């Protein structure tokens, strides 16, 4: 039973490692390519401008136009965060791995405790 418990923990740890590795690879690829993406011209949807009062609509349009250079600058900084994504992936992996190992250890200890709490079988009398 204990071999099964630790086999399940090992399989879950392998799946967890693969999941975190794929997530880190995807996030790193997205961050690395973010600097080449341009920010399109931001504008309020026409359906909104029809329903909003004109001063509010114009104010929101000005805010979006003023935010354009800020968003472009933020996109230019994203490729530099790739190393941070790697650190984050390792930290998340470590927390998950420790939780899986703790669950395995608790199951191990619980199983041993349960085995010891069971009454031992009565010895057979030989004639």
Q: Where are the domains of the chain?
A: 7-72+82-110
Q: For a pLDDT cut of 90, what percent of the chain falls above it?
A: 39
Helix axes 82-117, 2-34, angle to 10 degrees: 170
Instruction: For the beta carbon of residue 48, count every other beta carbon within 10 angstroms.
Output: 12
Which string of b and e fits 13-24 if b means at least 16 CB within 10 Å? beebeeebeeeb
Q: Tell me how many degrees the CA angle 106-111-113 measures, rounded to the nearest 5.
A: 95
Specify whether the CB–CB gap between 85 and 31 falls below 8 A: yes
Q: pLDDT by residue (tens digit) across 26-50?
A: 998 888 887 677 667 777 788 878 8
Higher-pLDDT residue of 16 and 67 is 16
């Amino acid at each position: 039973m204990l071999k099964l418990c630790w086999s399940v923990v090992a399989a879950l740890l392998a799946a967890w490692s693969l999941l975190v590795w794929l997530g880190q690879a995807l996030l790193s690829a997205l961050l690395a390519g973010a600097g080449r993406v341009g920010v399109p011209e931001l504008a309020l949807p026409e359906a909104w401008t029809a329903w909003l009062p004109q001063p509010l609509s114009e104010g929101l349009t000005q805010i979006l136009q003023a935010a354009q250079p800020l968003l472009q600058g933020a996109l230019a900084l994203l490729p530099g965060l790739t190393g941070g994504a790697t650190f984050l992936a390792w930290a998340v992996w470590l927390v998950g791995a420790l939780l899986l190992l703790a669950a395995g250890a608790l199951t191990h200890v619980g199983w041993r405790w349960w085995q010891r709490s069971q009454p031992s079988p009565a010895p057979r009398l030989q004639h």
